[in-house]
Amino acid sequence: MSEHPAGVRPALDAKAFDALLVPGLEARMAAIERDIRPIFRAFAEAVAPMLAAGAGEPMHVHIAKHARRTVNPPNDTWVAFSADPRGYKKLLHFQFGLWPTHAFFWLAAIYESPFKPAWARRWLEALDDVVRLVPGDFVWSFDHTAPDVVRHDALGSEGLEQAFRRAMTVKKAELLVGRILPREKAEGADLVAFAEATARPLFRLYRIALSIDAPRSG
């Protein structure tokens, strides 16, 4: 796939999803570079200013490199947006990415961050606000390495409280919240509009979490 011309809104196609099914590490990484990363770059150019405005700080773009993989190819891939130009894993950040079955956009607190327990505690303290601010059809993931998600309206206050408490004490426990688009709906969808609509309520959660006294850089 060629780079998207300036002014053209990025869109997913069958090749992007199929790239994640190509056998073998080297071949799959080549397919990701050819058929997914140009979409990520166009998407990032379009949405980074919006994310920066909503978050109240610059949002730097980090396309997943999967550099540590030596045998097994990645089952998913993503582009992340964080306040640190050097990296994103230690910071609360936004992610847009793909599994073979769906696309996702969410706010992510992953296990690599030493600040994750503090963010979880702050969300727990604001539990009623979190329950109210997140739309019912949004989803939560507690492990970014698996495709499984739970709808916000199915989780409820009790489920969220358990998830936040677990993230405070269990290193591997993660908190990712946003929306997914099944492949059949994602192909050809307006990704910028999807990101804008998803990010709107997530900005409030971002600000709640970062009201803690934690460093902003990784």
- One-letter amino acid at 26 equals E
How far apart CA 196 and CA 174 sit, in angstroms, is 23
Record the pTM: 0.91
pLDDT, residue 9, reads 77
Look up the CATH superfamily of 14-209.
Protein of unknown function DUF1054 (3.30.930.20)
In what helix (H) or strand (E) does residue 109 lie, and over which residues does it extend? strand 102-109
The conformational region for residue 72 under phi > 0 = left, psi -120 to 50 = alpha, else beta, is beta
CA distances from 14 to 18, 19, 85, 101, 189 (A): 6, 9, 31, 11, 12
- One-letter amino acid at 191 equals L
In what helix (H) or strand (E) does residue 108 lie, and over which residues does it extend? strand 102-109
| Per-10-residue mean pLDDT, the chain, length 218 | 54 97 97 97 98 96 88 95 96 98 98 96 96 97 94 96 98 97 95 97 95 47
